[in-house]
Amino acid sequence: MLRYAVKCEYRGVSQEGMGQFRLHDWNDVRLIIACAEHKSFAAAAAAMGVDQTTVSRRIGNMEAAIGRPLFTRRKSGAAPTPAGEALLERARAMAALADDFEGAMQGLTSFQSPKVTVAASEGLLTYTLIPALMGQDKHELPLDRSLVRNELPKLAFTTAPAKADISVMATSPGDLPKVGGSVHVRRVGTMNFVPVASRGFLHELRGVSSFDDLAQLPLLDIGIYRAIRGLDAWNGLVASKQGEGVSVAANTPKVQRPLLGGEGISLLPDYSTLYEHQLEAVDVKTPSLAVSLWLVSHEDTLREPSVRDLYDLLAGMFTTSAWYREK
C-alpha cells in the first residue's frame, strides 16, 4: 500500500457549526482504515508505526474539522460512528485505487521499451548504422557489431534530426552541431574521406599523379559536401570544372550506381571499400578531407533507459573504431 506523507490542513468549526476540511495527507485515510480494522487506536498505531498519541491527535483533528465524532472510544476499543462508516467506505475505495496505482508503477519496471528513432545522413544510415544495429548485412563494417550484447529496442531511422531521439551529426572540423534547447552533445570521432572509383575505371586511368590532377576527370559530387568546410579541397576541384564533367547526386546512395558503373570519381568515407568491394581508393596523396561526428540527444529524451543505453552503445561503437580516428 502506498505511504506518501504530505502536509495536511485543518480548519476549525465555522460559526454555523460546519467544519472545513481539506485532505492533503494519504496517511489520514490510512488512519481511518487502520482504526476500523484493528478496533483500537493503540493497535492501529502499532500497525502504522506511530505513537498512539499521534493517532488520537489526528483523528481528533479530523473530528474537530467536520464537527462530529468518527469513532466511539471505549475501554474495549474503538468503533466507527455512522459518520466514520461513511468515510470508511470511501477510504477503502481510495485504498483500492492507491494499490492499483502502486501496482501500475511497479509494472513500469518491466514496461516494454518505446521505439527509439535514430537520425543520420542517408549514407551513414544505409551503409553503417542500419547494418551495424540491425545485423542484416554480412559485409565488414567500420563499427563493431559485437558490442551489441543486449537486445535492442525497436528502432526507426530518419534523416531528420528534429524527429529523432538520437542524432549522429556531422560538422566541419572545429564546429559544434547547430542545436537548441537542453541537449547532450558528445563528439564521437572523425569521418575521413578519400577519392574513390570503380576498379574498372581505375584500371583505365592514366596520367594522374596528384590530387589536383583529378580535375581532369569526370567527378561525381554529392550536394551536401558544399556546406562542409572540411571538404574544401574536394569542393575546390569541383568548382574548378565550372559544371563541365560534374554530376551531382543528392546523397551517397544515389551516387553509388554511376560510381560503380565507372562514370567517374567521387568522394566517400575511407571505409567505403569495406562494404563495396568494387570500389577502390584513388592512389594519390590526398589533402585532409574530414568531418567531425557528434551524438546529440535532448536531456529529457536521455532519461528514457532505452534511449540512454542506445546512446551509450553508439558512442562506444564510434569511439572504439579505428576508422573514426583523426588522421
Residue 296 pairs with which residues in a beta bridge? 167, 185
The share of the chain scoring above pLDDT 90, in percent, equals 68
* CB distance 188 to 262 below 8 Å: no
- Size of the chain, expressed as the number of residues it contains: 327
Distance of CA 193 to the CA centre of its chain: 29
pLDDT band at 71 (very low <50, low <70, confident <90, very high): very high
Distance of CA 37 to the CA centre of its chain: 47
| CA–CA distances in Å: residue 259 to residues 39, 197, 324 | 87, 6, 23
Q: Among the residues of 113-178, which ranges form H helices? A: 122-124, 130-134
* Residues in CB range of 127: below 8 A, 6 or more apart: 252, 272, 275
At 194-206, the pLDDT tens digits run 999 999 999 888 8
Query: Which whole number is the average pLDDT over 244-260?
Result: 93
Query: Which whole number is the average pLDDT over 29-47?
Result: 93
| CA–CA distances in Å: residue 160 to residues 107, 120, 163, 184, 254 | 33, 7, 6, 17, 18
Closest CA relative to residue 270, chosen from 282, 257, 260: 282
pLDDT score at 188: 97
Rounded distance between C-alpha atoms, residue 176 and residue 260, angstroms: 34
Which 3 state secondary structure label does DSSP give 119?
Answer: strand
- In the chain, what is the greatest distance between 2 CA atoms, to the nearest angstrom? 112
pLDDT band at 11 (very low <50, low <70, confident <90, very high): very low
* CB distance 121 to 225 below 8 Å: no
Rounded distance between C-alpha atoms, residue 255 and residue 10, angstroms: 74
Average pLDDT of the chain to the nearest whole number:
88
Residue appearing with cell numbers 590526398: 286
Which 3 state secondary structure label does DSSP give 211?
Answer: coil
* CB distance 88 to 30 below 8 Å: no
Grid cell of 82 as nine digits: 455512522
Query: Which whole number is the average pLDDT over 37-56?
Result: 94
Grid cell of 104 as nine digits: 501500475
Query: Which whole number is the average pLDDT over 247-273?
Result: 94
pLDDT score at 9: 45
* CB distance 71 to 81 below 8 Å: yes
Domain spanning 9-110: which CATH class is it, in words? Answer: mainly alpha
pLDDT higher at 99 or 308: 308
Asked if domains 9-110 and 116-324 share a fold, the reply is: no
Query: Which whole number is the average pLDDT over 16-43?
Result: 79
Domain positions in the chain: 9-110, 116-324
| CA–CA distances in Å: residue 292 to residues 189, 225, 238 | 6, 13, 22
* pLDDT for residue 320 is more than 50: yes
Rounded distance between C-alpha atoms, residue 160 and residue 143, angstroms: 22
* pLDDT for residue 105 is more than 60: yes
pTM score? 0.69
pLDDT higher at 176 or 107: 176
**Architecture (CATH level 2) of domain 116-324:** 3-Layer(aba) Sandwich (3.40)
* CB distance 52 to 45 below 8 Å: yes
* pLDDT for residue 6 is more than 60: no
Lowest mean pLDDT among 62-76, 134-148, 266-280: 134-148
pLDDT band at 187 (very low <50, low <70, confident <90, very high): very high
* pLDDT for residue 175 is more than 60: yes
* Residues in CB range of 312: below 8 A, 6 or more apart: none
Query: Which whole number is the average pLDDT over 42-65?
Result: 92
